[in-house]
Chains A and B, each alone.
Chain A
Amino acid sequence: MTQKEEKRGSGFRILGMSPSEISREFFSSGTGKVASALFIVLVVVSIYSYFALPSNFGAIWNNPSYWKFNPDNAPPAWINYFTSQKLAPQVTVHPLESVTTYRGVTYISSTFSVENPYAVPWQDIYLVLNGIPKNSSAAVQLTIYRPDGSSMPIGPLQFSGSYIDLASSSQVKNQILSFFYDKGESITLAPTQSPIPLLFQAVKNGKPYTLDGNYTVKILVTVFGSVASSSKDPNFITVIMRGNVYGLMGTDFEGHDLWEGLLAGFPIDLEIGIVSAVITMVIAIVVGIMSGYFRGWIDEVLTRITDIVITMPAFPLLIVFSVLFAWSLWDAILFLSILSWGGAARIIRSMIMQIREAQYIEGAKIVGARGSWILRNHILPQIMPYSLYLLVTSAPGAILTISALNFLNLAGSAYPTWGNLLYWADSTGALYAGMWWWVIPPGLLIAFVAVVFILVAIASEPVVNPRLRYG
């Protein structure tokens, strides 16, 4: 900035305050500090979510097979800090050690070890192999070295498709049961009960209990044929141990990672608030200025329209059009904005009615100023700050209305919205199962974003309303 511009900048005043005075006024109150801190948090998290989530996250979210290895309806992992019954978390490892080919047969061996201090161990183990040709057959053999010195052999299991699900194999079940049977313990499992937890348990008098300690798992995959060159990739073999708790925020009924779902909602809600507020304000300012400045029949017509728009029941209309035209989130936001400028336009109109009677406007007219000049130099600077304030106050309403619409499973976007997460929670009965990790955070975040906008509005009230400033 050059010195000249700086001088002009310091001479710039809105409502008799320089920009630095305005910011000082805004930050002088505790509310202003809290509001701006929270707003920064909101923006930072939105930016973070933009970079942290893959660009095709919407497609990923709506693809159930992407989430099939995750536990369903699992609480977040950190509940282990608050409970005595420790639950095993989701574990994913890439244990590839070596790939050797001998006489047309490829041997892939891998080893990994896990610690098991959990009262409720893992429920299932998936073995995912990428790069095995569709037509070649493969077999998998596992050996589990347990902390009590024993070792449990599993397999060989026939491998087909892209992954193997140990819990669903009756061979695995029989092998585990016979392992304990050899030790003189007999266990009965319900038909749908997974045998996998027994891998990490010892049995006494037919009752399994957790065997604490370090487990080493050796996996040998034999492929009758050659494998793709990508086999040097450590992602070639992935072992997923399905936990009972998952990540930061748990999972929903399809195993979606709720943390990612919640993260995706941040930029959406911020955009809903800002976009709808901006559209609303642009319409309100244009209508307010037109009817306040031109008066006459224009004013008469616009005031009638404003009256109708103010009383128009936006929500039922939003529902019916979302249903009839399968509206997207953005259609709904646009429509909502078109129906919600009434109140702001009325206020701006009355402000302009007051301003245009002022003597300096009369003076400017006498000197020969044109209407557009007066508008730009006398009227807009006076109504702008208040318009910005109105802009901020109209954001929470839009956020709440659109969330309610999402809660009815309308006006969807490719990305999950907080309202839509709650729709699924409600329609799959998560409410009545008390799945708080799925039900509480989305609503809390909707409220958080709305309250941040409200706090910003409260903090900027003394700036735009001089009566409050000196009162």
Chain B
Amino acid sequence: MGLLRSLGFRAINLVLILIVVLFIISYALSGPASSVLENQVKIEARAVAQAVLKHNPNAASQAQQVYNTIVAQLEKAYGLDQPPIIRTFYIMWDMLSFNWGYSFFPQNYGVSNGKVVNIIASALPGTIILDTLGILLSAIIGIYVGTRSALRYGSLSDRGVMYYAAVSNGLPQWWIGIVFIIVFAVMLREVHSPIYFPFGGILDPKYFGTWLVNPAAVFANVSAVLNLLWHLILPLLTVLIVNIGGWAYFARTVVLNVAQEDFVTVARAKGLSENQVVNKYIIRPAAPAILTSILITIPFVLFGGFLVTEVVFQWWGLGYVYNIAITAAGTPDTPVVVALTYASTLLYIVIVFILEILYIMLDPRVREQ
């Protein structure tokens, strides 16, 4: 029962965060940002009124009436006639029910009908692939490296790992991506190397159209999957280079602490092999603590970094769509930006929740309470 209770507790906490984020955004949209929507309504109504006038130039008062009716109706439909706090809840409800509206500049995304929910749905698989693989691989490699380095405490390789971890914490992940593109895509081409990497993108153009509508169809095609993996190499390498350090550092600290415990000494005294001591008596008790440290750093280091890395590699994911929505049209594509923030918060909360489950599975103290 304890397991379910603590899981439920965490779930409530995360849902609370989602609602807080949602409320903040919705409130911002209902207040100062609503003037944008009002203007849009007026422009729409004016277009209709002008069409009426064109048809019958003498019907000025009629056109005015049409204009007023349309503005009133649209404002009612968008909830603009309500006080801001009511409107906030309208917007929250729309967000929760995935009613995200239409993009201002649908042609920038190449997704057929410009529905924001479709744009984001097309970007989600890319982000999930890069984030999941990135977090998992960097965790596995980082914990391995950190543990090895803790067991060789004070050696040259240990100090090397420490400095690498410290420096990698200060590297802008997306800039490492830029350097990788310059070295492995641009320079390798310049020296006519037989192997060079793509400049970016998630797939070659011939597969990309399919990817936008139906990613599952791409996975059915072996050569398309290979193409995806080929495009994945540089972004993944970028993510790994920067993130392994953090995991290694935390793993090392925790393992060092555990390795000094009495039960480890006892295990050694019993004559267990070093492998057994390390795996059963050091890493196992250290695992939950490593995860806790990571849970605290995820919001900053991991999440922001991944999104911007997608921009550099033009990797069709939430981050890249963010970039298009902000910069491609000159003026920001507000519906897309807002929905992206909600969607990425949702995704982030799912990731955190999965890590929480992992944490509970690993920590017997929580599990068997």
Contacts and interface: CB of A to CB of B under 8 A. Distances in A.
A320 B172 contact: no
A403 interface: yes
A446 B299 CA distance: 20
B71 interface: no
Contacts of B311: 407-408, 426
Contacts of A410: 326
Given A316-B345, A451-B167, A324 B28 contact: yes
Interface stretch (A3-11, A163-171, A381-389, A434-442): A434-442
Contacts of B185: 432
B172 A454 contact: no
Pick from A316, A432, A440, A453 the residue with the most CB of B within 10 Å: A316
Interface in B186-222: 186-187, 190, 199
Contacts of B28: 320-321, 324-325
A145 B105 CA distance: 59
A340 B299 CA distance: 10
A431 B175 contact: no
A400 B322 contact: no
A453 B167 CA distance: 10
Contacts of B14: 311
Nearest to A403: B172
B361 to A, nearest CB: 20
B68 interface: no
Contacts of B307: 315-316
A325 B172 contact: no
A46 B24 CA distance: 37
Contacts of A316: 303, 307, 340-341, 344-345, 348
Contacts of B167: 447, 451, 454
B13 A308 contact: yes
A307 interface: yes
Interface string B84-115: 00000000000000000000000000000000
B20 interface: yes
A436 B186 CA distance: 11
Given A324-B334, A407-B311, A313 B345 contact: yes
Given A312-B20, A325-B32, A443-B172, A397 B182 contact: no
Contact size range, B? 35 or more
Contact of B13 (A307, A321, A403, A425): A307
Contact of B304 (A404, A453, A454): A404
Given A315-B307, A404-B172, A422-B175, A320 B190 contact: no
A312 B186 contact: no
B337 interface: yes
B341 A317 contact: yes
Interface residues of A, number: 51
B181 interface: yes
Pick from B300, B323, B326, B340 the residue with the most CB of A within 10 Å: B300
B296 interface: yes
A269 to B, nearest CB: 11
Interface string B337-361: 1101100110011001000000000
Interface in A317-349: 317, 319-321, 323-325, 340, 343
A129 to B, nearest CB: 37
Pick from A307, A314, A449, A451 the residue with the most CB of B within 10 Å: A451
A315 B181 contact: no
A431 B175 CA distance: 11
A455 interface: yes
Nearest to B166: A454
Contacts of B299: 310-315
Given A315-B307, A323-B334, A431-B181, A450 B166 contact: no
A278 B304 CA distance: 22
B237 interface: no
B326 A323 contact: yes
A343 B166 CA distance: 19
Given A311-B352, A447-B170, A324 B32 contact: yes
A60 B171 CA distance: 30
B40 to A, nearest CB: 15
Interface string A276-318: 0000000000000000000000000000000110111111110
Nearest to B29: A324
A315 B173 CA distance: 14
A409 B327 contact: yes
Contacts of B326: 319, 323, 408-410
A250 interface: no
Contacts of B348: 313, 316
Contacts of A432: 181, 185-186, 199
Interface in B310-336: 311-312, 322-323, 326-327, 332, 334
Closest 7 pairs between A and B when the two form their complex, measured CB to CB = A450-B170, A443-B175, A315-B304, A451-B170, A320-B341, A316-B341, A434-B186
26 contacts: A308-B13, A308-B16, A308-B20, A311-B13, A312-B17, A313-B21, A313-B345, A314-B304, A315-B299, A316-B345, A319-B337, A323-B334, A324-B334, A396-B170, A400-B301, A404-B174, A407-B172, A407-B311, A423-B327, A431-B182, A431-B199, A432-B185, A432-B186, A451-B167, A453-B170, A454-B167
Given A311-B13, A319-B340, A408-B308, 12 more contacts: A310-B299, A312-B17, A313-B344, A313-B345, A317-B24, A319-B326, A319-B337, A407-B311, A408-B326, A432-B181, A449-B170, A450-B171
